Amino acid sequence: MSRGGRIKERDEPERRCIATGEVQPKRGLIRFVAGPDGVIVADLAEKLPGRGIWVAADRAAIEKAAAKGLFSRAAKAQVKAPDGLADLVEAALARRVVELVSLARKSGRAVAGFEKVKGWLAEGRAKVLLQASDGSERGKGKLWTPTGGRWFGCLTASELGLSFGRDHVIHGALAAGGLTDKVILEAGRLTGLRGHDDGNTAVGKE
């Protein structure tokens, strides 16, 4: 059993956060590398060359690492964290989530709109319920987290709208398979940066 009461997946890779000192699954951390110019960049795809430096997907942890010179200590070299690093990471994560949901929509694995989402939930087709952080709590409470699935409220209505080619979207749902697991991973990290509770804000029936 891992932190938070979740069952640890078999052979799930772990890394140590340079800010908290805690070892935890990679899915809850963000990889950073030092670029050729000695400036720290977030490697969200975890594909850039260089020594990986891991920080928890948490605004306070990233800000501490930048302010206390922890990146230089971990890199064993003098490196520089850009101003507003946590903001840069948050913006990049938001773009990744928006793009992934958009790709899921194009593959037929995502729908938007209260009635369509409610239909997917009722039919058991939804694995993830997405609801805008700035949407009406009353309206959001009429839907429910999919059984055995996840709920995320880390995107704004305009950001969620971008995923579906609309100005604003309050409710969205993703089916299992395809890019859904990647959405869960990146939305979980974005939740950490934005400080939203990733529990079940939707208070309708389970």
**Residue pLDDT, tens place only, 94-121:** 999 999 999 999 999 999 999 999 999 9
Query: For 199-206, what is the mean pLDDT?
Result: 42
Number of DSSP helices (H) and strands (E) in the chain, helices first: 7, 9
Range 51-79 burial, b when 16+ CB lie within 10 A, else e:
eebbbbbbbebbbbbbeeebbbebbeeeb
| pLDDT reading at 144 higher than 90 | yes
Q: Which residue has the tokens 């903001």?
A: 87
Task: Quote the CA–CA distance of 15 and 23 in Å, as a whole number.
Answer: 5
Chain centroid offset of residue 119 CA: 25
Structure tokens at 128: 């993830």
Structure tokens at 59: 């605004």
Question: Quick one: pLDDT band at residue 12, thresholds 50, 70, 90?
Answer: confident
**DSSP secondary structure letter of residue 39:** B
Q: Give the count of beta carbons closer than 10 Å to the beta carbon of residue 50.
A: 14
* pLDDT score of 197: 56
- Angle at which helix 59-67 crosses helix 180-194, to 10 degrees, equals 60
* Distance (Å) of CA 152 to CA 48, 52, 109: 28, 28, 16
> pLDDT tens across 22-79, in order?
999 999 999 999 999 999 999 999 999 999 999 999 999 999 999 999 999 999 999 9
Structure tokens at 5: 């009461």
Task: Quote the CA–CA distance of 103 and 74 in Å, as a whole number.
Answer: 36
Question: Quick one: pLDDT band at residue 201, thresholds 50, 70, 90?
Answer: very low
Structure tokens at 69: 């010179």
- The set of residues, in sequence order, having a beta carbon less than 8 Å from that of 56 and lying 6+ positions away, is 17, 19, 20, 22, 24, 28, 29, 30, 62, 192
Question: Quick one: pLDDT band at residue 10, thresholds 50, 70, 90?
Answer: low
3-state helix, strand, coil in the chain (%, to 5): 40, 20, 45
